[in-house]
Amino acid sequence: MNGALTPDFNKSPAQLAANILLDIEAIHIRPDDPFTFTSGRLSPVYVDCRRIISFPRARSELMKMGVNLLNHTAGVEAFDAVAGGETAGIPFAAWIAELLGLPMLYIRKQAKGFGRNARIEGTFKEDANILLVEDLATDGGSKLSFINAIREAGGKVDHCFVVFHYGNFPESTVNLKSAGVSLHGLCTWWDVLEVAATRNYTADQINTVKKFLSDPDGWADQNKLG
């Protein structure tokens, strides 16, 4: 790991979150050795928020920051329950629910096909205000499926919380806003790049990431092997 979990009170909350994610290597910046996704697309960066579950002090700090963000943006009495999307959102929903003192649910990507054939595990009252929690947001597509599941089951959902928001797909906020949902994220790639500039990353590496973020498909095409 590069650095320690030491707070810098001169940094914004978003920069502090970015710093923690870099510390625990949940965020990787590797322009010289790009990652290959299952789609075949190349990327100089990779985000793995699942790593957070293995770092108790980091996850505790991030979840407390998440609750503070939600209290300021949505309100301290905004929610009746917290729902995690299968599978990455489930642990974060559990920790947020614990801090808020609220019931926790989780939402399947698809109905399981037997028994009650339900997509939502757990219980809530009709018209309950439910906070949707996921690990990260790219274009926001998967969030809409979970939102629809909550609403079809009789719940209300006006807010979605993620640990990390890519911040380079305008449709992520536009699509959710059109569905009446506000997206709240601890930090974006732009926060990460600000922090990276103060760490052991070169200007060339940071500029490469900026080029990728402005045109992911174009960058991948230009950097294809063979």
% of the chain exceeding 90 in pLDDT = 69
Residues 142, 145, 148, CA angle at the centre, nearest 5°?
Answer: 150
CATH of the domain at 90: 3.40.50.2020
Distance from C-alpha of 169 to C-alpha of 215, rounded to nearest angstrom: 10
Supply the range of the domain harboring residue 77: 13-222
Residue 7 in domain: no
Q: Please give the backbone phi and psi of residue 126, each rounded to the nearest 5 degrees, phi first.
A: -55, 135
Residue 4 in domain: no
Residue 34 in domain: yes
Q: Which residue has the tokens 């070169």?
A: 202
Whose CA is closest to 186, among 148, 136, 150? 136
Residue 88 in domain: yes
Residue 5 has pLDDT above 50, yes or no: no
Hey, is 103 helix, strand or coil? Answer: coil
Residue 2 has pLDDT above 70, yes or no: no
Residue 114 in domain: yes
Distance from C-alpha of 174 to C-alpha of 168, rounded to nearest angstrom: 12
Residue 156 in domain: yes
Residue 18 in domain: yes
Residue 28 in domain: yes
Residue predicted with more confidence, 96 or 176: 96
Judge whether 186 and 192 are in contact, CB under 8 Å. no
Residue 173 has pLDDT above 90, yes or no: no
Q: What is the pLDDT of residue 76?
A: 94
- pLDDT band, residue 139 (cuts 50/70/90): low
Q: What is the pLDDT of residue 154?
A: 95
Strands 104-107 and 129-137: unpaired
Q: What is the pLDDT of residue 4?
A: 44
Distance from C-alpha of 72 to C-alpha of 75, rounded to nearest angstrom: 6
Number of domains the chain is built from: 1
> Mind listing the pLDDT tens digit for each residue in 37-55?
776 778 899 999 999 999 9
Residue 46, CA distances (Å) to 100, 105, 129 in order: 30, 28, 33
